[in-house]
Amino acid sequence: MLSIGTLAKRTGTKVQTIRYYEEIGLMPEPGRTAGGQRRYSDAELDRLSFIRHARQLGFPLDAIRELLALSDSPTQSCEEADTIATRQLKLVEQRIDRLQALRTELKRMIHECSGGNAADCRILGVLRDHSECLTNHDEIGA
Amino acid sequence: MLSIGTLAKRTGTKVQTIRYYEEIGLMPEPGRTAGGQRRYSDAELDRLSFIRHARQLGFPLDAIRELLALSDSPTQSCEEADTIATRQLKLVEQRIDRLQALRTELKRMIHECSGGNAADCRILGVLRDHSECLTNHDEIGA
DNA sequence: GTACAACCTCCACCCACTGTAGGTTCAAGC
DNA sequence: GCTTGAACCTACAGTGGGTGGAGGTTGTAC
């Protein structure tokens, strides 16, 4: 049986994060010692590894919840897993496209700025006047 | 003078977002009507446009705060603007690299899954066992 | 038996907003 | 001048995915 700290080290997770996963029902409530400390079995280690791995691949926790449910019922068709993964792939591809457009625009801004004072700065100029942009970048964020 | 709703429409910002920017000191406190409603001048329209444009390019609000300060003192060197933009470019490039690695891994998972039941699903299999991954993807998230 | 690292709960905070409830003001039409 | 109703106001809760800290308790090695 593993303490929460050992489980954390083995999975590369912070202790608080494990407790957070328990709180939101992603991890089961583990057994406790007489004194109230959590003790984990290998099944829980596997489950947390699964969660962490899916997180590394960018799956949101809700999707992970579904994937865990599928993984727990091995006779079910894996069609749904495919759907979830494909959805995630599309999301990742959208983000890449968007970030590549941002990269182009940022590079251009930086390249055009010859380094005088702020009044003539192309970086600030482009920010002031959207019409100086070559690309449309309507959506917010990265 | 513009109402907050008109300013919102003109800049493609939500009304709540404008009030939020005021709350965190990114937008100045505007004038008010006798009844207490906000009224904005063109200077404030320009400032909000600048903020929104920088957000579209993915700059975090703290960076935007610095960029606004630079834009307000036109005699200052624009070196700092260059530093901020370059930092942002590097961040964007890092994210692109990371997302491209995720894309590769997701594609492989989906491709390998031939669609049986969940027990044999390659998608769930890869998630269960990190050693089946070709790439290292230590960091979390997208 | 003691020291102290690791654990416990509870709560606040991060970013950048978004949404809602419950009440007030402005402007257009009559 | 009066009514209507859209737009405004404040205040607060919630989003995702955690992170950090205070203040107190337990487990374990010596």
Q: Residues A77, A81, A86, A88: what is their CA dihedral angle, to the nearest 10 degrees?
A: 170
Residue range B94-105, pLDDT digits in tens: 999 999 999 999
Residue for token digits 């801004």? A109
Percent of chain A whose pLDDT exceeds 70: 94
A54 and A97 in a single domain? The answer is no
Domain interval for residue A10 = 1-58
The answer as to whether A1 is a domain residue is yes
Strand C at less than 7 A from CB of A27: no
The answer as to whether B67 is a domain residue is no
Compute the mean pLDDT over every residue in chain A, rounded to the nearest whole number.
90
Q: Which nucleotide comes closest to A26 if you measure CA to C1'?
A: D17
Strand D at less than 7 A from CB of A88: no
Say if pTM beats, i.e. exceeds, 0.85.
yes
Higher pLDDT, B115 or B40: B40
Q: How many domains does chain A have?
A: 2
The answer as to whether A80 is a domain residue is no
Q: Is the pLDDT of residue B17 over 70?
A: yes
The answer as to whether B70 is a domain residue is no
**Cβ contact A7:A47 at 8 Å:** no
Q: Which nucleotide comes closest to B9 if you measure CA to C1'?
A: D7
Q: Is the pLDDT of residue B139 over 70?
A: no
User: Is residue A99 exposed (0-12), middle (13-18) or buried (19+ Cβ within 10 Å)?
Assistant: buried
B54 and B100 in a single domain? The answer is no
The answer as to whether A51 is a domain residue is yes
Give the CATH number of the domain where residue A40 resides: 1.10.1660.10
**Cβ contact A46:A73 at 8 Å:** no
A54 and A100 in a single domain? The answer is no
Strand D at less than 7 A from CB of A33: yes
B54 and B107 in a single domain? The answer is no
A96 closest CA partner among B19, B118, B32, B102: B102
Q: Among residues 95-124 of chain B, which lie with CB inside 8 Å of chain A? A: 95-96, 99-100, 102-103, 105-107, 109-110, 113, 115-121, 123-124
How many residues make up chain A in this entry? 142
A54 and A95 in a single domain? The answer is no
Strand C at less than 7 A from CB of B34: yes
Q: Is the pLDDT of residue B141 over 60?
A: no
Q: What is the DSSP letter of B130?
A: G
3-class SS letters over chain A: CEEHHHHHHHHCCCHHHHHHHHHCCCCCCCEECCCCCEEECHHHHHHHHHHHHHHHCCCCHHHHHHHHHHHHCCCCECHHHHHHHHHHHHHHHHHHHHHHHHHHHHHHHHHHCCCCEHHHCHHHHHHHCHHHCCCCCCCCCC
The answer as to whether B137 is a domain residue is yes
Percent of chain A whose pLDDT exceeds 90: 75
pLDDT value, residue B119? 80
Nucleotides of D under 7 A from a protein CB: 7-11, 16-21, 25-28
Chain A interface includes B127 (CB < 8 A): yes
**In the sheet that A2-3 helps form, which strands lie side by side, from edge to edge?**
A2-3, A38-40, A31-32
Q: Indicate yes or no: CB of A118 within 8 angstroms of CB of B71.
A: yes
